Structure 1
Amino acid sequence: MPLNIKDAEAHALARELAEATGESLTRAVKVSIAERLARVRHLRPRLADRLDRIALDCASLPVLDPRTPEEILGYDESGLPR
């Protein structure tokens, strides 16, 4: 699948890298993208880890209302409004 980059600076940087490494333009771009993607993936926390952290933060909050959830919602033990 072709990749068409319409940015003169991006082309110049890719050509400079290819010349400096002795790689083809395609190889230089491919390796650069793969290396950056690996760094970004490493830095970005996984969704499950972020959700775990949120759950721990919520669990550590103090209870400020002594009422039961049912009392707060206003339903009796049968599930009917009080």
Structure 2
Amino acid sequence: MALSIKNREVEELARELARSRGISVTEAIRQSLESEIALDSVISWPNESDLIIKLREISDRAGRIPERDNPMTEDEILGYDEFGIPTR
């Protein structure tokens, strides 16, 4: 199946997202569409608190963080060595 994008701005945005995530344009578009569909499926209550809105925004941003090739361990993140001694 083919999809033809005839809007230069949309095409540039898709390429920019793909570059920033290190993925193909097709994958960037797929991820973006899935994310938007998921957001649309969430029920938004009229009196939703600011905290809930902020937490959703944080969750959305965290979901877009690319995975690292050599991620740090929990101890490395907290600053402890393998013996539980602080390294900082």
CA distance in 1 between partners of 2:29 and 2:43 (Å): 21
TM-score calculated relative to the size of structure 1 = 0.51
Segments of 4+ moved more than 4 angstroms: none
Matches within 5 A, 1:52-63: none
What TM-score, normalized to structure 2? Answer: 0.48
Percent identity between the two aligned chains: 38
In structure 2, how many angstroms separate the alpha carbons of the residues matched to 1:33 and 1:12? 16
Q: Which runs of 5+ in 1 are unaligned?
A: 46-82
Structure 1 residue 44: deviation in Å?
6.6
RMSD: 1.6
* Structure with greater helix share of residues: 1
C-alpha distance in 2, partners of 1:41/1:5? 25
Partner of 1:9: 9
Separation in 2 of the partners of 1:28 and 1:8?
16
Task: Give the gaps of 5 or more residues in structure 2.
Answer: 46-88
Rg (Cα) greater in structure? 1
1:5-49 C-alpha deviation (Å, 9 max, x unpaired):
11000000000000000000000000000001100111379xxxx
How many residues are treated as equivalent by the alignment? 45
